[in-house]
Amino acid sequence: MTAIAGHTTAPPRMAASSRQRIIPALLLMPCLAWISFFFLLPLALMCWRSFAAKGYSFAAYTVLFTSPLYTKVMLTTVKTASIATVIALILAYPVAYVLTISGGFRRALILTFVFIPYWVDIIVRTFSWLILLGDNGLINKLLMATGIVHTPLELLYNSFSVLIAMVQILLPLTIIILFGAMLRIDRTLIAAAKIHGAGSWQAFRTVFFPLSLPGVYGAGLLVFVLSLGFYVTPALLGSPRQTMIAQTIMVEASELLDWGQASAAGLVLLIITTLIAAIYNRYFSLDRLWGGSDA
């Protein structure tokens, strides 16, 4: 009797468990195939190209690591990206905090303002700074009108103009990531700190701030990775001294048509960003975005 019952249910059970495997595989297949064909395969070919174009040698990499030009550009890139990241974090923190502690209408309003720039092309936002910071730009006009300076300040084509635009471009994302992290902090802890005698500032400093630090580090890593790849902003607002790696790769490829060298530099940049993204993933788990591995 039991044996018969077990026998009759065996086929559907097997069908069900294999269905549990086949359906998600079918659902993921197109997406993964697409990524492999249009993203991973091109990257692999680029990697191959970086050797093949120089007669199957490491010549391109030797240039990368020995030429003073590349060393200088890499240093500038890391320096600019780091400074932009730190400033973006400092400016994003209070906005994210206010978003966290306010509710309803005020939160919606601030979020709207934060998202508006996101809908505007990076080229356009950079271009806007070109207009604002010029000799006849609004900033210089204001400074001269108020008598603070008498000749226009050199606001363009230096690291100031590059940074002010980069930070403006990075800010919305930084705010959103920090806000997301802060929302996960249990706010009753702050109430608990206050009940036990901490003032607002003390409660913030001893409870909220330490708890928000992991979110700050996470946002910092992600924003840093993105700033390493900036092209438009340093190209439009910087001088040759502010050249970042993406510009150099662009010149190698589109002007010098040295695809081997461009590929090698691109690969090094890719490896650096992938390493940082992997660190981020290790500690902050990218797949938290869809409910984590437990879902």
Partner 1 sequence: MNANADRLILGTAVAAIILYLIFPVIVVLAISFSSGNFLNFPPPGFSLRWYRAIAGDPEWVSAFIVTLKLGGLTALFATLLGVPAAFALVRYIIPAKALLSALILCALVTPPIVTAISTYLFFVPLGLDNSIVGLACAHAVSGMPFVVINTAASLRGTDRNLERAAIIHGAHPLWAVVRVTLPIIAPGIVIGAVLAFVHSAHELLIATFVLGGVGKPVTVKIWSDMQATSDPTIAAASAILIGLAILTLATVVSAQALARRRST
Partner 2 sequence: MEQSAVRTSGARVRLRNLSKSYGAVVAVDGLTLDVPAGTFVSLLGPSGSGKTTTLNLIAGFLTPDAGDILIDERSVADVPPHRRNIGMVFQSYSLFPHMTVADNVGFPLRMRAKLSRDESRKRIAEMLALVQLSHLKARYPRQLSGGQQQRVAMARALVSRPRLLLMDEPLGALDKKLREQMQAEIRNIHRSVGTTVVYVTHDQSEALTMSDLVVVMHRARIAQIGTPRALYEAPANAFVADFLGDSNLIPATIVKTAERECAVRIGNRAVIAAPPAPFAAAAGDRAFLFVRPEDMTLQPASSVQPQDRSGLVGTVKELSFHGDVFKLSIAVGDDVLKAKVAREQCGSFEVGRQVVISWTPNAARLLPATSDGASSSESGMR
Instruction: Give, as ranges, the residues between 121 and 140 that touch partner 1 (CB under 8 A).
Output: 121-125, 127-132, 134, 136-138
Residue 78, binding choice from partner 2, partner 1, none, Cβ under 5 to 8 Å by partner class: none
Query: Between residue 159 and residue 218, which ones bind partner 1 under the rule CB under 8 A?
Result: 168, 171-172, 199-201
Site string for partner 2, 17-56 (x = CB under 8 A): x---------------------------------------
CB of 14 to partner 2, least distance (A): 9
Residue from the set 9, 200, 202, 285 that interacts with partner 2 by CB under 8 A? 9
CA–CA separation, 169 and 87 (whole Å): 12
- Work out whether 52 is an interface residue with partner 1 (CB under 8 A): no
Cβ pair 223, 174 in contact under 8 A? yes
Candidates 234, 225, 235; CA nearest to 270 is 225
6 near partner 2, rule: CB under 8 A: yes
237 residue type, one letter: L
Question: Which of partner 1, partner 2, none has residue 9 at its interface (CB below 5 to 8 Å by kind)?
Answer: partner 2
User: Which of the residues 84 through 113 are near partner 1 (CB under 8 A)?
Assistant: 91, 94-95, 97-98, 110, 113
The binder of partner 1 chosen from 160, 217, 259, 284 (CB under 8 A): 259
CA distance 238 to 159: 6
Instruction: Provide long-range contacts, Cβ within 8 A and 24+ apart, for 227-232.
Output: 227/80, 227/81, 227/84, 227/85, 227/166, 227/170, 228/77, 228/78, 228/81, 228/269, 228/272, 228/273, 229/269, 229/273, 230/80, 230/81, 230/166, 232/122, 232/123, 232/126
Count of CB atoms within 10 A of residue 216's CB? 20
Closest CA relative to residue 52, chosen from 263, 245, 209 = 263
Report the partner that residue 152 touches, choosing among partner 2, partner 1, none (CB closer than 5 to 8 A by kind): none
Instruction: Answer with the entry of partner 2, partner 1, none that 59 interacts with (C-beta below 5 to 8 A by kind).
Output: none
The contact set with partner 2 (CB under 8 A) reads 1-2, 5-6, 8-9, 11-13, 16-17
